[in-house]
Amino acid sequence: MNPYYNDTDKYAILARTYNILLYSQKLKSLVGGLMGEENAQSMTKYELHRTINNALIENYSGESIIKAFLVREFLAKKVVASFEIRVKNSRVDFLTINGETNSFEIKSELDNLQKLSRQAVNYSKVFEFNYIVIDKKHLNKANEIIPDNYGIWIFTKNRKQVLRKAKKNIELDPTMQLELLTKKELKRVFSETDREVIYSKYNQNTINLHFKRCLKERYFERWEYLKLNHQSILPIDYQFFFNKNVNPSLIYQDSL
């Protein structure tokens, strides 16, 4: 790390540079920038990953850290969850599905709010409850942008503060919900793949019910894998293992 960077810069650079698939030597270089090369050289691959994880959890306030907190928030609850679902030209950061859909848009200390208005409109069309998870510095401006039915959470150093509970959204758009489903999913639940035909046959409540069913089935196995294996996974790597479902030992252990 460049000695002229301050601590905020240092950990932001570490977060951008870190990749779970980096070779051991590159991981040692990253850890060496934190603790000194001599300390890093004697570490196992898992120890290197763990050191980077701990450093970011303690000192970094970016999106990956807040996602880790959200995972921990819901691991023990009866929900199915997922990361980064595309909605029109937006991508919601985290979603939970059970009896209802709950979206969570993250705006960390390092983010800006330029896209928030568009994101709020898109998510309000497809999800029943919507939340923004923000750094407190964004609170006043975010309040001017998001609808009144949005919930507001703040995460600070592993602690969640609920500033406002979300209210149920009554402006769902069935056509947008259908756009999020694949043809295979449409065929399975509606016995039809033409979205216009489905829209003409079914009412809003039925489409919403099947929309939730499809999302829950789509992400169930990946979320269950993360739940079953989370004790072997470092928090900043949750999203990788959700997407890949590979054995953590294949990633964290040194090659033989």
56 and 72 assigned to the same domain: no
Q: How confident is the model at residue 160 (pLDDT cuts 50, 70, 90)?
A: confident
Q: What is the pLDDT of residue 1?
A: 45
Q: Which amino acid is at 71?
A: V
97 and 159 assigned to the same domain: yes
**pTM of the entire predicted model:** 0.92
Tell me the three state secondary structure of residue 131: strand
Q: Tell me: pLDDT of 8 over 80.
A: no
85 and 26 assigned to the same domain: no
Domain count, the chain: 2
Tell me, what DSSP letter sits at residue 254? P
* Residue 174 neighbours by CB under 8 Å, 6+ apart: 199, 202, 204, 207, 208
Q: What is the pLDDT of residue 36?
A: 81
Q: What is the pLDDT of residue 2?
A: 47
Q: Domain range holding 81? A: 65-227
Tell me, what DSSP letter sits at residue 255? P
Q: Is 225 in contact with 245 (CB distance < 8 Å)?
A: yes
Look at residue 79 and tell me if it is in a domain.
yes
104 and 180 assigned to the same domain: yes
Q: What is the pLDDT of residue 109?
A: 87
Q: What is the pLDDT of residue 38?
A: 83
148 and 34 assigned to the same domain: no
**Mean pLDDT, rounded, for 138-143:** 93
Q: How confident is the model at residue 4 (pLDDT cuts 50, 70, 90)?
A: very low
**Mean pLDDT, rounded, for 191-214:** 97
Q: How confident is the model at residue 6 (pLDDT cuts 50, 70, 90)?
A: low
Q: For residue 173, how many other CB atoms are within 10 A of its CB? A: 14
Helix axes 45-59, 63-74, angle to 10 degrees: 100
Q: Is 77 in contact with 83 (CB distance < 8 Å)?
A: no
**Mean pLDDT, rounded, for 41-54:** 95
pLDDT in tens, 209-249: 999 999 999 999 999 999 999 999 999 999 999 999 999 99
Q: What is the pLDDT of residue 61?
A: 86
Look at residue 240 and tell me if it is in a domain.
no
